[in-house]
Chains A and B, each alone.
Chain A
Amino acid sequence: MASKMEETYVHRKLEAHKPFSTKQFFLQWEWLLVLILIGVMVLNTLLSPYFLNVTSLRDATMIFLDKSFIVFPMAFIMIMREIDISVGSTVALSSVVMATAYNVLGMPMEVAVIICLLVGALCGLLNGLLITKFPELSAVIVTLATMILYRGIAYIILEDQASGNFPEWFGFFGWGYIFGVPFILIVFVIIAVVFGLLLHKTSFGRRVFAIGHNDVASKFSGVNVNRTKLIVYTLAGVMAALTAVFLASRMGSTRPNIANGYELDVIAMAALGGISTAGGKGRLIGTVIAIFIIGYLQYGLGLINIPSQTLMIIIGALLLFAVIVPKVKEMRR
């Protein structure tokens, strides 16, 4: 472990002093992603005449960007060599609580939205607490259990009912424009920038990378590993709740079974974006491109009536592709 750390450290140092090399620059994972994105665009344009125009491309973002909020904290979690598969259930639970607070408890919608975010934060906090207080347990098992639990609570609250009838202004989250730009796209850009700065420009982000490289060494270097993990898991919960707000707004109602399987999409987006599942590596710019790849792929194939089950296969294959390619590269070396 230590030698690996040293190696990467030396590698980093060398990298910093290396003169700029055009070849190295274009060999980065992100350029491959750009190529794939262009490929997806070309494919979609060839397949459907309705795909390539500004309105279509702009409005498609309203459909696929909601889950992308979770991708950023998921990237943090994966960089720390952990995982969270409860995010889909967190979306369901927080949106169900929001709808219940508004429809059954008669709270104003503004309060309901805040409660939604709080529920998400609580779900994330519980994940984080369980993972940090019981280090013997893997994050897989903890979030697997809370995944069943959160969705179970959502079912207990709403049974198999849908809950909607939100006030008109609430629809703005999902369908609103500001100066012709979808509101969700603006929020997405803000969140991407904030998380990007957090990961790459702050000491908090350095701590996340350090934990991913070697959590024991980070602990002895004075990094509060548990607090960092707690914050990141809570952030994942909050972002899942934000997804719930946008999703409920777009659909006009919510049910306990919404956001089923979001965890796969989110993990696939993060992995395709170059976040290493072995921890310690990744850049958020890649995940942003990956979000648009998967989003436009889903949208475009939806336009030509490819069944959603086929999309499942494609996303599964993309996820495998994203994790296998770096491994093969490593083996060659």
Chain B
Amino acid sequence: MSTSMMDETLPTNIEKKESKLAKIGQFREIGLLVFIVILVIAVQLRNSSFLTLENISDMATNTAILSILAVGMMLVLVTRGIDLSIGATLALSGMIVAQFVSNHSGTSPIVAILMGIGIGILCGLVIGGLVSYLGVLPIIATLAMMNIFRGLTYMVSNGKWISSYQMPESFVGIATSKLLGVNTLIIIALIVYAFAIYFIGHTRTGRQIYAVGSNPESAKVTGISEKKVFIIVYTLMGGLSGLSGVLWVSKFASAQGDTATGYELSVIAACILGGVSIAGGAGKLSGVILGAFLIGILNNALPLLNVSPFWQKGIEGSIILAAVLLNVMVKRGVERNNLLKRRV
């Protein structure tokens, strides 16, 4: 990936038939940012309550959970995998933690969060084991585990909801409290980003994830254990889903059996919008976070623009499809440009 980017920045004087799309594609993050700015201005012109402090902070806290999950999903997609079970993992961890704190009202929020992460890690380990040691396709393994985790959530809860009055103040406070004037959810998201930047760019394991994703054969020859990478990636995804489960339940002050059903699709959409290649090996944190914000803004803006909620799914689907196709076109353009350069 890095070499093709280098090629692009080399000064060349070939103009013929260079794909314009590919040039735009290089500045993907900037393009996304410009699109977000235009969208925000357009929405603001139609409805002035969009850019109020209250709405912005609401949007940021909503997007925090989405972007935390998107970070994990990016790593899964980079290894050419997919995880459809995260919505169910989130619900399971949220439900178990909510039940625990409703019975033990003295639980410290930090313990609750650690519990959620622990449950998520267990779920992720199961999937990682299936994918790496038993060689089950990620889509099959996560589709099956999605149903198992979701079913377990209903079993654990007996179909009952845990509502806000059953939860201690301190637990609901995880999502509503502020630290230095910033909502805790946003701070937790920032911590996750910081950890991800360090992990992806500055640790051996982080680089191995990308190596396995971009070329599994050569990664194997280099001595990288594919199995280890798969386990790590799915476990991380599970841990982040577990964390998100606690944050979700605390934010919406209710835990239900059908919490976050289908949320995995939004997360995958954010990753694809953010330029994560589904063919593996490529994906930038900055892009993914912007992608998550774009989805968050859309979710927030559509009701403000009086768009019927029934259009939301259709719009989301079209955007994902368009983003995926655009991705392919850009990639083809880049490859063609590279070929053109080689000819000279």
Contact = CB atoms under 8 A, between A and B. Distances in A.
A148 B312 CA distance: 10
B278 A155 contact: no
Interface in A253-305: 261, 263-264, 267-268, 271, 277-278
B102 to A, nearest CB: 21
B70 to A, nearest CB: 15
Nearest to A159: B310
Contacts of B82: 140-141
Given A159-B308, A327-B136, A319 B144 contact: yes
What secondary structure prevails in chain A residues at the interface with B?
helix
A311 B148 CA distance: 9
A264 B321 contact: no
A138 B147 CA distance: 23
A77 B279 CA distance: 20
Contacts, number: 135
A83 B139 contact: yes
Given A138-B278, A149-B318, A320 B155 contact: no
B314 A264 contact: no
B136 to A, nearest CB: 5
B118 interface: no
B303 interface: no
Contacts of A160: 310
B151 A309 contact: yes
Interface string A143-169: 011111111110110011000000000
Interface residues of B, number: 46
Contacts of A327: 134-136
The 7 closest A-B pairs by CB, nearest first: A152-B314, A149-B317, A152-B313, A313-B151, A148-B317, A309-B154, A316-B147
A309 B255 CA distance: 16
Contacts of A32: none
Nearest to A265: B147
B140 interface: yes
A3 interface: no
Interface residues of A, number: 47
B189 interface: no
Nearest to A156: B314
A244 B134 CA distance: 36
Contacts of B45: none
A148 B140 CA distance: 19
B140 A155 contact: no
Contact of B313 (A148, A311, A317, A319): A148
A326 B143 CA distance: 19
Interface stretch (B175-183, B238-246, B323-331): B323-331
Contacts of B154: 307, 309-310
B315 interface: yes
B125 interface: no
Interface in B117-169: 130, 134-137, 139-141, 143-148, 150-155, 159
Given A138-B278, A309-B153, 14 more contacts: A136-B328, A141-B324, A147-B317, A148-B265, A152-B316, A155-B314, A264-B144, A264-B146, A277-B137, A278-B137, A307-B154, A309-B159, A312-B151, A323-B140
Interface in B291-344: 308, 310-318, 320-321, 324-325, 328, 331-332
Interface string B257-290: 1000000010011001000001100000000000
B325 A134 contact: yes
Interface string A68-101: 0000000000000001010000000000000000
Contact of A141 (B278, B315, B317): B278
